[in-house]
Structure 1
Amino acid sequence: MLDLLLAALAGAGAGFINAVVGSGTLISFPLLLAIGLPPVSANVTNNIGLVPGSFAGAYGYRRELRGQRRRVAWLVPASLAGGITGALLLLVLPPEVFSTVVPVLIGVALVMVLVQPRVQSALRRRRQRIATQRGVEHAVHDRFAAAVPVTAFTGVYGGYFGAAQGVLLLGSLGVVLDEDLQRLNALKNVLTGVVNLVAAVVFVVVAPGEIVWAVTGAVAVGALLGGLLGGRVGRRLPATVLRAVIVVVGVVAIVALLR
């Protein structure tokens, strides 16, 4: 009973952080290990349990999602493909394969978040030139053409492990899309939710023996409540504060993963 209570609390913390920025897995995954779950089982159980929190966070950001239907339509298939690929990789590859790459990816994402305003300004000028020379539609397609592979790659990472998936996605999309950080965060919540959901389906179909359903349920309840609260809090943060939170969480993620 105590283990389930701890799992629910971990899910609540992870759901809250995932809605605000990402990296909630760094709370819930180590705790599932601490209560005795093997690594792969803990990863699979954690992934499935956090799905409700992801969509609760997206619901909390529903106002910021207005006007982004086209982006969602373009990027959700990329998240689906990436999530399936990453989930299958988790089941067939040794954990050491990504262990040295993950901290580097998060570090790159943090740099992207920090330089995002300057990069966006430069890209905005470039897109204005493109719009003038080739038409607005071509400029819009150029942005999506860059965002699709970025989203798919992040989906692979999210399906495989998921810690700091949100940081990586925010940093990447912030460079290729000319958009406010809070609106990107809303888009991030949808896309990471899709990755977690499709990875969960793969785990249920391919590796049901790795799932500890009682713990999954406890994490899911906590994540749902944490995601709803995180969605309400996160969208009220100024862009500068949100960017600072992203950097702090990302640095903590790198340190935790290296340790």
Structure 2
Amino acid sequence: MTIGVFVFLIIAGVLGGLLASIAGLASLVSYPALLLIGIPPVVANVTNTAGLVLSGIGATASSTKELRGEGKTVAGLVALALSGGILGSVLLLVEPASTFEHVVPFFILISGILLLVSGRQAARKPIAALRDQNKWGVAAKALGIFLVGAYTGYFGAAGGVILLAILTLTLPQRFAVLNAFKNVMAFMANAVATVIYAARGKVDWLLVIPLGLGFLVGGYCGPVVVRHAPVKLLRTLIAFGAFGLAAYLFVKAYF
């Protein structure tokens, strides 16, 4: 690896870490960056996931204010995301790369739409909170988070956007707190997926070093931005970022 590639991946990691901890959209930058230097799609994905563990560490450390007193809620959410992450990472290792490349754009498109919808629901928090007390609402939320965990383990691009949408629709906390929940859940799902990938020897650890350093810095800075930025603007930018990533990956997969 040349010095130029090393610096390029650090920069991609910083930007990706910011996007991961703000929006769950690290792969808008980091995944294409790995493809750009010639890494095959599945190897790029698992290497990106390993690097994202560092983003999760930085974001969690930076979110202590939002996470204070939320241990019970976070533990339940993390358990669901972890279970799904194990399933998704195993699926990625057994399914062909062509399947992986062709389904991802649609997941990301749906995630952007969900976030825009969740933004419109934000003003009706009391309704969402009441819905969450219904056993079917609780079951639907649990299943949704499990499936997003599986998606995070399988690919994860814009997985955080889907998590934000689900959390916004079902929990009454502020956006910054929900974003902190998302960061912890994504961190744990990426960590367990990385362990599984490493056991199969799929991760390019040499590339994880510069990418992870950038992710750590960007991940730490992201929650600070969310703490002070306008929520409506953030949701809109995140959603359209997801649409852009979906379009890019769709063109790459089908044309």
Classify the TM-score, shorter chain: 0.7 to 0.9
Task: Tell me the amino acid that sits aligned with residue 252 of structure 1.
Answer: G
What is the DSSP-based 3-state SS (H/G/I as helix, E as strand, rest coil) of the residue aligned with 2:11? helix
Partner of 2:193: 199
Partner of 1:80: 82
**Does the Cα contact within 8 Å between 1:146 and 1:176 map onto a contact in 2?**
no
Deviation string 1:163-203 (CA, Å, 9 cap, x unpaired) is 11111111122222233222111110000111110100111
| Unmatched 5+ stretches in structure 2 | none
**Does the Cα contact within 8 Å between 1:25 and 1:164 map onto a contact in 2?**
yes
After the TM superposition, which residues 97-112 of structure 1 pair with which residues of structure 2 at under 5 Å, given as runs?
97-112=99-114
* Residue 36 of structure 1: how far off its partner (Å): 2.3
1:252 pairs with 2:244: yes
* Residue 103 of structure 1: how far off its partner (Å): 3.2
Distance, in Å, in 2 between the alignment partners of 1:181 and 1:258 is 30
Distance, in Å, in 1 between the alignment partners of 2:86 and 2:113 is 28
Partner of 2:230: 238
- CA, structure 1 residues 100+44, in 2 after alignment: closer, same or farther (shift >3 Å)? closer
* Residue 117 of structure 1: how far off its partner (Å): 5.1
* Residue 212 of structure 1: how far off its partner (Å): 1.9
Partner of 1:134: none
After the TM superposition, which residues 33-182 of structure 1 pair with which residues of structure 2 at under 5 Å, given as runs?
33-116=35-118, 118-119=120-121, 124-125=126-127, 128=130, 139=133, 144-182=138-176
- Report the aligned-residue RMSD: 2.3
What is the DSSP-based 3-state SS (H/G/I as helix, E as strand, rest coil) of the residue aligned with 1:50? helix
Partner of 1:224: 216
Q: How many residue pairs get matched?
A: 249
1:211 pairs with 2:203: yes
What is the DSSP-based 3-state SS (H/G/I as helix, E as strand, rest coil) of the residue aligned with 1:139? coil
Deviation string 1:18-38 (CA, Å, 9 cap, x unpaired) is 011111112111211222222
Identity over aligned pairs, percent: 35
* TM superposition score normalised by structure 1: 0.87
Task: Tell me the amino acid that sits aligned with residue 11 of structure 1.
Answer: G
Distance, in Å, in 1 between the alignment partners of 2:224 and 2:116 is 24
**Does the Cα contact within 8 Å between 1:112 and 1:175 map onto a contact in 2?**
no
